[in-house]
Structure 1
Amino acid sequence: MKNYIKNSLRLLCVFSILFSCSMDPELPDVDLAEINTINNLRQFQDGAYQTMVDYRYMGRNQIVAGEVRADNVFANGQTQRFVSWSKMDINPTNGDTEGLFSRINATSANPNLIINANLDNLQGTFDEADKKHILGEAYITRAMAHFDLLRNFGQQYLSNGKGLGVAYVTKFNDREVDVRNVPRATVEENKIQLYSDLQDGIKFLKEGASSKYSADKVRITLDAAYALQSRIAVYFKDYNMVLNISNELEAIINKYPVTPAEDVVDYWKMSSPGSASIFELHLDNGVSHKDNSINNIYRGQSYADIQAFDNILQDVGFEPNDIRASTDMIHTVNIYEAPGKWRNMGKYPSMLSDIGSDNIKVFRVEEVILNYAEALLEGDNNPVKSKDYLNMIPSHRNASLYSDATVDNILAERRKEFIFEGFRFYDLVRFGKEIRDIQPSTSNNHGVVPAGDNRIAMPYPQQELDSNRATEQNPGY
């Protein structure tokens, strides 16, 4: 693992050195992009994982974007980080927004090189299944990055938007495209490309089923691809897309056991993927984010800007014995401060010299279960089967079971299960729920944000507007 990270970081330096917010990165030397061996191919894709786990993307900012704009946490202003996100008053020059935008775009660079490379000419002896698997990983990585770009910057749930999505980049350093004039595609066009990449990725991952990478939880696998498909489909309420892979999702649910209540705290402390994990992004002390980590922004000595609301346990609706509300998971005592500030203590729990070294859990089986329960209810009109899957989670959390499956119950369970993981904002938005003002006294509060409000979409960064004349700003900025 550590060797592949070191090799990937060397490649990442090549592809990130001149990458800006513009849609098409430039290589210092196009010859450096040549892929001619299986090891080279592996390193290119592993470089994409390192871009993805960067604190500006999945290592921190993507998680914070899904929490601080909703009703679980706020930015307390301790170091002024994410204050504008917390207020939902984001300027196009905001550094965290620019970082998120550019790092998501950068994640597609290496996958695009792989997808467009002539892999028929790889030198040396290698397993064809490994080649196919890595190619599948590239397609799924590209889909994942563009989905995150779309749900942060697209207009799919705005009341007065034009239906604009994002520019879906499928080539690296395309000499035939004027990068100063790349318009945003529509949301519907983005969905077509997303679904195409999912289909291609799944195809190649199936062809690479015998690869040594097919069970590697710190790389994308076929199971992770299906998990992503379920995430994207429920976001757009394309429930038939979930139901079409019901056999595959049920197989995943049977394969990856839900973490039992007595193991939840330890599951989050594990340095390697636990049994419920489908895909994690790997971090260790050699490449940890330290001060910029998700751990440090939640409770660290340096930052600790992201704080839970005072009535978090009551508002979420946790029962007293629910392991997710235990003092190991949510507590008012921080080792760095006096009691009184409610903190995420259990998720991404590394502290002191190890802070920033926790893996980022991208897909857990619990998400697949709740995605499937939602599709069974909303797409298949099967509340009985939906309830069975919904109750798989509270039955493993020392919590009461639900008497029936409803959208509100599914959303309530999603909030409990995924609190502090970056799901809440997108769940509220996709169901047309207003974002409540649950603690008006908070200094950096966003107030009530109505469904369809302009602020649901982040502003396009000014750097992108300056470098790409065809890019349109989102309304209200």
Structure 2
Amino acid sequence: MKRIKLLLMSLMVVLAASCTTEDLDPALDQNKDANGGITDVDNLYAVIKGAYSRMTASGYYGRDLIITNEVRTDNCFSNGNSGRFTTQAGFAYSNTTGFFWDEAYAVISSANLVINTDLTGLEGDMDYGRHLQGEAYAIRALVHFDLLKQYGQIHVTGGTNPGGIPYVTSYLSNESSQEELFPPRNTVEEVRAKIFEDLDMAYDLMEDTGDTNFFSKYAAKALEARVAVYFEMWDRAVDAAEDVIDNGGYSIVPAENYVASFGSDGGSNIIFELEFNSTDNQGINGLAYIYRTTGGGSYGDVQVLDEVADIFEPTDVRGLLDGENGILGYEGDMLRNMGKYPDNQGYDNVALLRYEELILNYAEALMETGGDALTQLNKIPANRGASLYTEATKENILLERRKELMFEGFRYDDLLRTGSDIEKTSIQQNFAATIPYGDSRLAWAIPLAEMDANSNMVQNKGY
């Protein structure tokens, strides 16, 4: 019987009792049968490491998810230097274009293996085992959230029903049920509820370890604040953000350290980041290689729209900084992201949860609930060499989000969650005309291979 491709990506793990986690290559540790292989809590750690490693793939956070969410906005475009990302930037993708569907469900499968393991049958520290299961719940929530935003039809008018994505909670085996093997799409509301359930479990199970390369208690809360803002659940966003602010011990990077902070690991503002080591770095398929040419040695397909320079003041470290390179800079006459992900070989860690984003989430939620949003909003420009705001409006908050989070993959989500059109503002953009909110192209097609393998899967409108 043909199984759903999504579930064929289910990862199987063998961890010989004689192996330690140091013996395992995190990119290769999930290739064999799991039956009898999980005997110790440390084995679960190896599976978690494998899940993080899969998230660093160039098809996921290693490049494609971030870049695709930039080139479809008023931040960036593809100049076609090597032919990369012109399809995505032109909203011309189809059910065979390829995106991060397979990588995402592979990560989810790893998380499910850890979540569904009975700790009482293992050797080792049970408290640590519960913490690892908490990490797995947080990973599962994040990846389903990513899938929902890209493949779900939240913002498509008259989309197919149900318009969510399959929320997979089982680790597959020969005993799996037909519905587990061929899962239908959940509704958007069901996926949202399951994400919050997983984040609640993550928070309850985890400790605050202080290791930013792994999910922690307050990283789960920071993610909860992000999800709550996306779905306009403002009270929940306020509560989650305040938990992190009051207990996490994080701080905003000051202006003088801002640019350099993207070339170093960790830092007072990092809540959770993916580590890129010798195994995980993407080299020529990484973020730096696509953002810059580095003297002609890199692809440099993703260029910044010329007009973007004008949204920054001359003293703002995120802009040109009095004509010199801040985050923005020039290669010849091409405006570029010069400061974020600066290592051309792809060894820079990729921050998925920064404290600055949390503060902006908090400011927006406070504005929506009648709190002191202005104080929170102004914490960001006060540390960037930029003028303070006199009023906390939706427009000002979104502008500050654009400035602070540019090149990190947030802009597309911000436009859609606020019901905005994808405006044609520059001749440099790859799409021909403004794409109205509700257009079917705002959601990706379910991959053709998935459609062929799963009779319960429903394709998105327009594909």
Q: What TM-score do the two structures reach when normalised by structure 1? A: 0.87
Superposed displacement of residue 302, structure 1: 3.5
Please state whether the residue corresponding to 2:44 is helix, strand or coil.
helix
In 2: Cα distance, 1:474 partner to 1:204 partner: 36
The verdict on how the C-alpha distance between 1:368 and 1:150 changes in structure 2, with shifts beyond 3 A counting, is: same
2:410 is matched with: 423
* Structure 1 counterpart of 2:223, from 224, 228, 231: 228
Superimposed CA distance per residue, residues 360-395 of structure 1 (whole angstroms, 9 cap, x where no aligned partner):
1111100110001111111x222xx11100000000
In 2: Cα distance, 1:430 partner to 1:307 partner: 25
In 2: Cα distance, 1:10 partner to 1:448 partner: 44
Q: Does 1:450 align with 2:436?
A: yes
1:11 is matched with: 29
Which amino acid letter does the alignment assign opposite residue 163 of structure 2? L
Q: Is the 8 A contact 2:241 2:359 kept in 1?
A: no
Which amino acid letter does the alignment assign opposite residue 453 of structure 1? D
1:152 is matched with: 150
In 2: Cα distance, 1:180 partner to 1:160 partner: 28
Q: Is the 8 A contact 1:180 1:467 kept in 2?
A: no
1:340 is matched with: 333
In 1: Cα distance, 2:335 partner to 2:59 partner: 24
After TM superposition, list the pairs within 5 Å mapping 1:124-135 onto structure 2: 126-135=124-133
The verdict on how the C-alpha distance between 1:38 and 1:441 changes in structure 2, with shifts beyond 3 A counting, is: closer
Superimposed CA distance per residue, residues 155-186 of structure 1 (whole angstroms, 9 cap, x where no aligned partner):
11212223510000001115213566321110
Superposed displacement of residue 397, structure 1: 0.3
Superimposed CA distance per residue, residues 415-445 of structure 1 (whole angstroms, 9 cap, x where no aligned partner):
0000000000000000011111121255x33
Q: Does 1:143 align with 2:141?
A: yes
1:322 is matched with: 316
2:263 is matched with: 269
Q: Does 1:166 align with 2:204?
A: no
After TM superposition, list the pairs within 5 Å mapping 1:20-419 onto structure 2: 29-31=33-35, 34-95=37-98, 97=99, 100-123=100-123, 126-161=124-159, 162=161, 164-174=163-173, 175-178=176-179, 181-205=182-206, 208-209=207-208, 214-251=209-246, 255-270=249-264, 272-300=265-293, 301-314=297-310, 317-326=311-320, 327-333=325-331, 339-351=332-344, 355-378=345-368, 380-382=369-371, 385-419=372-406
In 2: Cα distance, 1:245 partner to 1:407 partner: 20
Which amino acid letter does the alignment assign opposite residue 135 of structure 2? E
In 2: Cα distance, 1:241 partner to 1:413 partner: 22
Q: What RMSD, in angstroms, separates the aligned Cα atoms of the two structures? A: 1.8
Q: Is the 8 A contact 2:76 2:302 kept in 1?
A: yes
In 2: Cα distance, 1:332 partner to 1:139 partner: 42
Q: Is the 8 A contact 1:231 1:371 kept in 2?
A: yes
Please state whether the residue corresponding to 1:31 is helix, strand or coil.
coil
Please state whether the residue corresponding to 1:331 is helix, strand or coil.
strand
More helix by share: 1
Please state whether the residue corresponding to 1:332 is helix, strand or coil.
strand
Superimposed CA distance per residue, residues 439-458 of structure 1 (whole angstroms, 9 cap, x where no aligned partner):
1255x335311112111111
Structure 2: gaps spanning 5 or more residues: 1-20
In 1: Cα distance, 2:239 partner to 2:377 partner: 19
2:6 is matched with: none
Superposed displacement of residue 260, structure 1: 0.4
The verdict on how the C-alpha distance between 1:241 and 1:79 changes in structure 2, with shifts beyond 3 A counting, is: same
Superimposed CA distance per residue, residues 301-360 of structure 1 (whole angstroms, 9 cap, x where no aligned partner):
24211111122112xx11111000031311112xxxxx0111111000012xxx111101
1:19 is matched with: none
Superimposed CA distance per residue, residues 222-272 of structure 1 (whole angstroms, 9 cap, x where no aligned partner):
11101110111111111121123354132157x2110000001110111x2
Please state whether the residue corresponding to 1:323 is helix, strand or coil.
coil
Q: Is the 8 A contact 1:179 1:468 kept in 2?
A: no
Q: Is the 8 A contact 1:259 1:276 kept in 2?
A: yes
In 2: Cα distance, 1:105 partner to 1:446 partner: 33
Which amino acid letter does the alignment assign opposite residue 390 of structure 1? L
1:471 is matched with: 457
Q: Is the 8 A contact 1:182 1:469 kept in 2?
A: no
* Structure 2 counterpart of 1:437, from 414, 424, 436: 424
Please state whether the residue corresponding to 2:352 is helix, strand or coil.
strand
Identity %, equivalent residues: 37
Q: What TM-score do the two structures reach when normalised by structure 2? A: 0.90
In 1: Cα distance, 2:239 partner to 2:270 partner: 23
In 2: Cα distance, 1:39 partner to 1:318 partner: 48
Superposed displacement of residue 287, structure 1: 2.9
Superimposed CA distance per residue, residues 77-108 of structure 1 (whole angstroms, 9 cap, x where no aligned partner):
1122111110011111003x2xx111111111
Q: Is the 8 A contact 2:255 2:383 kept in 1?
A: yes
